[in-house]
Amino acid sequence: MCSGAHVLEFLRYLDQFGKTKVHNQTCPFFGLPNPPAPCPCPLRQAWGSLDALIGRLRAAYEEHGGRPEGNPFGAKAVRIYLREVRDFQAKARGVSYEKKRKRPKPKVTATPQSAAAAEAAAAGSSAETTDHSTVLRPTSLDHVSSRVVKDFVE
């Protein structure tokens, strides 16, 4: 049976085949995102590559009938190792990997036309209108295809 210790051994083995320059703490370029000259620091696996690999292996383990509680790729030791690799590589490159904070959702402001339509509706106006300019539309449609939006608007 495989354990978290075996996964760590595998990750350390993979580290020697990396292509990412990670400066040692004694290197004069430690903490610089773009070093001005070459240095003898080792090439290692990038944190993102290791994290993606462990994520795929964890999912494959569970897809093939493994219990999530017994998943060696999700072991606490593996998560700690990945966090340490991420933090060290961030310090070595002078980049921070802080969690992104969620932006507050933008408030939808009423246009003068939609405000007038709302007032007319509140006043009990029974006249039906086919004016589509009063419909509030989202301001950002990056995640929706333009064809769907076009069909929706028409």
Which DSSP state fits 33?
A: S
Q: 13 in a domain, yes or no?
A: yes
Residues 12-50 pLDDT 10s: 999 889 888 888 888 888 888 787 888 888 888 999 999
Instruction: Say what the pLDDT of residue 136 is.
Output: 43
Q: 24 in a domain, yes or no?
A: yes
Q: 50 in a domain, yes or no?
A: yes
Question: Predicted confidence band at 140 (pLDDT cuts at 50, 70, 90)?
Answer: very low
Phi and psi at 31, nearest 5°, equal 90, -5
Whole-model pTM over 0.85: no
Q: 85 in a domain, yes or no?
A: yes
Domain that holds residue 62: 4-93
| 1: nearest Cα among 49, 52, 70, 80 | 70
Q: 31 in a domain, yes or no?
A: yes
- What string of DSSP letters covers 70-85? G-GGG-HHHHHHHHHH
Q: How far apart are CA 97 and CA 46, in angstroms?
A: 13
Q: 152 in a domain, yes or no?
A: no
| Count of domains forming the chain | 1
Average pLDDT over residues 91-113: 67
Q: 120 in a domain, yes or no?
A: no
Q: 16 in a domain, yes or no?
A: yes
